[in-house]
């Protein structure tokens, strides 16, 4: 265990106290002693190169717990500001982060603070608390640091989650497809790719080896994930089919065009006064093909975006395409949004989840995947 103190933290507790408790020197300075000086497990010790301390520590961490986290600190985490050792470690850290807010009640209630909390959740951080009660200001309300038992439980859960998919090969389909009509125009949809990318990142953070087959998306490729970029539905079908053969889990969150223009003009189609008729032909049903070819023990998850009779349509997709479960959502709750409201539908039940960030939805989807894999063994 390594303690990292901000300058403000040293006003409350001396570094010597944490050094005695952890058995390791306390990290306080952005440019501290660069010699490898920490007593850590052998696997982590290999990452301590003795060059830049805050980078060494960030690379070696299995989990970063920030408690208490002030409103100012959370704002710095969201915006990537790193003026001290703790925020520099957080910025360089790839391990899960548990954030435990503590502040006065009006600071907690401010729209800016709540926006920062949502941003941290959307990026995969676990938020613990705050609790309601008497505050240092003399006021009472939400803002107290969560109880040590609650923080401990979150730490145990985060640590267990990190290794929950170790050794598992996960394939995720994400983004939209684009079907050209001419060199300028195309048929596409409003999918941003956020949901599929969130699944890929969540699986990566659980220790899985992740391949992301993505059509165009409004996002940067996730770090630590193998990206296969495609554009047309036929390209996505080839890539997904190829990768599926070596995958243990497949999550198909891509918004694939059902149809494509029957003819693609080599030149821009000019405007005329006549009515234009567009002939379409069907694209292959990628998810149905994956279901038909799935091997024993493989988990297959589909998404369904429905405007009416959602449960019925999801159950039909579940049965016809041989899926383990379907993530049902609606356009108004998902397209272009940071959050989503979904229902997990299988043959026996439909579990409606509250509105949450897409990263939180991804975690719930993977929790269900892990449970199914356990039953299939």
DSSP states of 325-362 as a string?
EEEEE-HHHHTT-SEE--EEE-SS-EEEPPSEEHHHHH
pLDDT at 40: 61
The pLDDT, as a whole number, for residue 42 is 60
Q: What is the mean pLDDT of residues 236-257?
A: 97
- Name the CA dihedral angle for 86, 195, 366, 324, rounded to a multiple of 10 degrees: 180
pLDDT for the residue 33 = 58
Q: What is the pLDDT of residue 140?
A: 85
What percent of the chain lies above the pLDDT cut of 90? Answer: 66
**Which tokens hold the place of 280?**
């379409």
Whole-angstrom distance between the N-terminal and C-terminal Cα of the chain?
A: 35
Of 53-57, 94-98, 315-319, give the range with the top mean pLDDT.
Answer: 315-319
- pLDDT tens by residue, 61-86: 889 999 999 999 999 999 999 999 99
Q: What are residue 131's DSSP bridge partners?
A: 144
The pLDDT assigned to 301 comes to: 98
Distance CA 157, CA 366 (A): 14
The one catalytic residue in 189, 283, 308, 340 is 189
In terms of Cα–Cα distance, which of 302, 282, 306, 305 is closest to 291? 302
Alpha-carbon dihedral 133, 134, 139, 143, rounded to 10 degrees: -50
Residue 265: how many CB atoms within 10 A of its CB?
14
The mean-pLDDT minimum among 18-27, 111-120, 210-219 falls in 18-27
**Do the strands 131-134 and 64-69 form a parallel or antiparallel pair, or are they unpaired?**
unpaired
pLDDT tens-place string over residues 123-137 = 889 999 899 988 888
pLDDT > 70? residue 48:
no
Average pLDDT score over residue span 292-297:
93
Nearest to 358 by CA among 338, 331, 332, 329: 338
Task: List Cα–Cα distances, 77 to 153, 323, 369, in angstroms.
Answer: 23, 39, 30
Checking if the pLDDT of 47 tops 80, the result is no
Q: How confident is the model at residue 36 (pLDDT cuts 50, 70, 90)?
A: low
Least confident of 118-127, 202-211, 272-281, 329-338: 329-338
283 included as an active-site residue:
no
DSSP tag of 261: E
Residue 261 scores a pLDDT above 70: yes
Range 339-353 average pLDDT = 93
Q: How many residues does the chain have?
A: 377
The pLDDT-based confidence of 206 (bands split at 50, 70, 90) is very high
- 320: pLDDT strictly greater than 80: yes
Q: What is the residue whose two structure tokens read 């435990």?
A: 100
Mean pLDDT taken over the chain: 90
Q: Which two tokens stand for residue 197?
A: 């990318």
Cα separations in angstroms, 56 against 5, 38, 90, 364: 16, 10, 12, 32
Which of 336 and 266 is assigned the larger pLDDT? 266
- Hey, what are 275's tokens? 């009515």
Does position 323 have pLDDT exceeding 80, yes or no? Answer: yes
């Amino acid at each position: 265990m390594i303690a990292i103190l901000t300058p403000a933290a040293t006003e409350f507790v001396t570094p010597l106290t944490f050094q005695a408790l952890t058995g390791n020197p306390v990290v306080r300075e952005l440019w501290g002693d660069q010699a490898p000086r920490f007593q850590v497990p052998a696997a982590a010790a290999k990452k301590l190169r003795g060059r830049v301390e805050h980078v060494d520590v960030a690379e070696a961490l299995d989990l970063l717990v920030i408690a208490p986290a002030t409103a100012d600190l959370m704002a710095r985490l969201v915006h990537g500001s790193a003026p001290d050792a703790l925020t520099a470690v957080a910025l360089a850290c790839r391990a899960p982060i548990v954030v435990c807010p503590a502040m006065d009640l009006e600071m907690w209630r401010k729209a800016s603070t709540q926006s920062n909390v949502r941003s941290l959740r959307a990026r995969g951080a676990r938020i613990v608390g705050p609790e309601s009660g008497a505050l240092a200001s003399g006021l009472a309300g939400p803002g107290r640091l969560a109880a040590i038992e609650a923080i401990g439980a979150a730490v145990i859960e985060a640590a267990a989650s990190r290794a929950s998919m170790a050794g598992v090969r996960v394939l995720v389909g994400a983004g939209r497809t684009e079907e050209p009509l001419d060199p300028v125009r195309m048929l596409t949809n409003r999918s941003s790719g956020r949901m599929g990318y969130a699944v890929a990142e969540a699986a990566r953070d659980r220790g899985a080896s992740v391949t992301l087959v993505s059509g165009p998306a409004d996002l940067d490729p996730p770090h630590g994930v193998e990206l296969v970029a495609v554009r047309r539905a036929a390209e996505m079908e080839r890539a997904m089919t190829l990768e599926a053969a070596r995958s243990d889990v497949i999550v198909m969150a891509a918004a694939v065009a059902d149809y494509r223009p029957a003819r693609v003009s080599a030149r821009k189609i000019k405007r005329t006064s006549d009515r234009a008729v567009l002939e379409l032909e069907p694209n292959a049903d990628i998810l149905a093909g994956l279901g038909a070819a799935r091997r024993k023990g493989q988990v297959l998850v589909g998404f369904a975006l429905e405007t009416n009779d959602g449960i019925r349509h999801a159950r039909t997709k579940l049965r016809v395409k041989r899926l383990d479960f379907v993530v049902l959502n609606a356009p108004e709750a998902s397209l272009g949004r940071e959050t989503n409201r979904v229902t997990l539908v299988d043959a026996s039940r439909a579990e409606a989840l509250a509105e949450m960030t897409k990263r939180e939805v991804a975690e719930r989807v993977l929790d269900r995947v892990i449970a199914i894999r356990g039953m299939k063994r």
